[in-house]
Amino acid sequence: MSKEKKKMQDPTKKGAQPPFEQQERQDPPGTEKKMHPKVDHGEESYKGSGKLEGKNAIITGGDSGIGRAVAIAFAREGANVLIAYLNEDEDAKETANWVEKAGKKAVLVAGDVSEEEHCKKIIEKAVKEFGQIDILVNNAAFQMARETIQDIPSGEWDKTFKTNIYSMFYLVKAAEPHMKPGSTIINTTSINAYKPHPQLLAYAATKGAIQNFTANLGQILAPKGIRANCVAPGPIWTPLIPATMPMDQTETFGKDTPLGRPGQPAELAAPFVLLASEGSSYMTGSTIQVTGGRPTI
């Protein structure tokens, strides 16, 4: 018997279409419940197939947005997940619930990844709870839109670099001794590594650094059988947007992409699963761009 064919969706109409209603200004990094339209993390759409069965993953910034979508996908593919987050307890518990609904173990660790000692604690907690680390997803990030370089406080510059790139160094350094051949590291970079937004000077600079860090890391760790790759999202609808971007820009966010809309976190899940799985065994130091058609060349 032939199965009914699943229709392909028009990518220009798959996600919420701008213009969006006026968003409520949030304090960074923002929370899910105040987002309109609602964010899609793949709660109803992502179907697993055992690609990560028996694996153990750490996801920073795992409470919401891209991190939540990746946590849901990893759990449905068979992985236990440690969700590292700053202080968004409600969002983090919601993500943990989705992981547990998939029948996998969820571990929550709150704290600031810009601090090296906290990064060490994340790794120690994962080893204690899981026994080993198979997948490290460095996804936590901070940004703030500023019109001019004079508007950027020196402390904010430091915070952006320490959160976005220092944390990756701290976590990889702490995790490497616990990662066996076949383990993977996935870093979240951005379209800003290729096409920097003029209002995101600090953020874009860190994303360029992440790109280079990952390309180099892939070479350094390859002899040990550990792979390191990137995912480069374009404009993705997450709490970070109303928390850090000018309100007038949130209404048309993503409209200037060739697909005419922002991406949803759910649309990032499959690339992360690919890089975490055996399907990408010959990929290291690589980047998968998910940009809505914005070119990276």
Give me the CATH number covering residue 152.
3.40.50.720
Give the other-Cβ count within 10 Å of 11's Cβ.
15
Asked, for residue 15, whether it belongs to a domain, the answer is no
- Does residue 160 surpass a pLDDT of 70? yes
More confident residue, 8 or 103: 103
30-44, 61-75, 177-191, 201-215: least confidently modelled range: 30-44
The DSSP bridge partners found for residue 84 are 60, 109
Q: For residue 245, give its domain range.
A: 49-290
Asked, for residue 33, whether it belongs to a domain, the answer is no
- From the list 144, 117, 130, the residue with the least C-alpha distance to 30 is 144
Whole-number pLDDT of residue 5: 62
Asked, for residue 161, whether it belongs to a domain, the answer is yes
More confident residue, 96 or 238: 96
**What percentage of residues in the chain have a pLDDT greater than 70?**
98
Average pLDDT over residues 90-118: 98
Which of 85, 170, 203, 282 is flagged as catalytic? 203
Confidence of residue 1 (pLDDT cuts 50, 70, 90): very low
- CB within 8 Å of 265: residues ≥ 6 apart: 39, 40, 41, 42, 65, 66, 68, 69, 70, 236, 237, 238
- Does residue 150 surpass a pLDDT of 50? yes
Asked, for residue 65, whether it belongs to a domain, the answer is yes
- The pTM score is 0.94
54-68, 121-135, 173-187, 245-259: least confidently modelled range: 245-259
- Does residue 2 surpass a pLDDT of 60? no
Whole-number pLDDT of residue 227: 98
- Does residue 4 surpass a pLDDT of 70? no
Alpha helices in the chain (DSSP H): 65-76, 89-101, 116-130, 154-161, 167-175, 201-221, 240-244, 247-250, 266-276
What does the mean pLDDT of the chain come to?
94
- Does residue 242 surpass a pLDDT of 90? no
Average pLDDT over residues 2-10: 70
Whole-number pLDDT of residue 30: 78
- Does residue 45 surpass a pLDDT of 80? yes
- Does residue 95 surpass a pLDDT of 50? yes
More confident residue, 133 or 37: 133
Active site residue 203: yes
Taking the C-alpha atoms of residue 9 and residue 118, their distance in angstroms, rounded to an integer, is: 43
* Count of domains for the chain: 1
Asked, for residue 133, whether it belongs to a domain, the answer is yes
Asked, for residue 86, whether it belongs to a domain, the answer is yes
Asked, for residue 26, whether it belongs to a domain, the answer is no
Asked, for residue 35, whether it belongs to a domain, the answer is no
